[in-house]
Structure 1
């Protein structure tokens, strides 16, 4: 008779399950929850029958957690998120549940190869909300971008330019020689855009990222430095000039 078919093993297994409160020690599911409970040996001793172990060397696992422990199925926890990619449309499948996904989350585990999964599976496996928070942030950013390009604050000047002020930064979109140009503050950009929408999107990204604020802050600091240097040089020059006789 095979050891795991022996009556003594079945009795020992039930005793282990009883000592663990009738629940899987990993996921806490019991038979009332539909779980199939099994006794797992934490270590094996050569020549020893499976029921000849101290209770402390065994633990209760459900069928799923037991398979996970032996590397038969992917672990349900302990994963880490290390990259997110936007494919642009639903052109991939989650490697955990098979659902079509647009946002691919690369997750890793010490005991399993990396997986490419969707938002919900990522948060479930990592035990965090990083994927959902990132996804919600992308949605909010898209909505802000749409409101920016559709804003009634855009005005058309007599020359046909489109102008508005965003976060106290003047924005001007010009049309010259078949393409659109962008002016932010008093700075004329060198890039050309095929449509006014493209120019508006670039203006939004430049301002919302904080890049515009940093650019103008650095520019002001350089100008202030030049003015201070000019004043200092002027004072030095005056100090070297002879006074009235």
Structure 2
């Protein structure tokens, strides 16, 4: 895993998860899939690789495997907090742990800690770009000048936590790189609307099977609020679960 810089941590606050239920669910998945966890005591220079053995939502604790080094275990228990980094389905996850102490677990010694109050679920565009369903489409409403149609609706081709790909079938939009569209409303089925500025990053002309042409605009979210980004994350998670269910034949 890559080193973590202070600048990265500051920029990742929009990806922070504060829901206790969601935190417990993510930690349980990490434990069930036996994902390795990098535990950093004093930064990159003092770290060990461990695993999450158990998550107890009722007591508000988690259990981790110990380091093979007795001295390092002493530093872990003596630390005010430690930083943990792992990955789940290609999504980078970071969280702080406090109150670490030794505990008995299945006949041996392990480390217990309080459930983290928040964690960062770093869903980056290159990792998670979900195609939007045709049967229950996602649409973006953009307000244009009256001579260009006023408030117009555009279907989305895909969505990520970084932005969307939008289809401009009637070539109404200015596709120049850097064009911004403030106050765009994106209606996420079963989640609700989110509002953000869309910044055009690329444009591609496409020819469809019926020989009609359309234009696909790749747009970045600009100054999206934490609440709106959380709604996008929930929608992407919903799409992923539905896709996995279909693949499993459910």
TM over 0.5: no
Q: Which has the higher strand share?
A: 2
More relative contact order in 1 or in 2 (CA 8 Å, sep 6+)?
2
Larger helix fraction of residues: 1
Structure 2 length-normalised TM:
0.24
Which one has the largest radius of gyration?
1
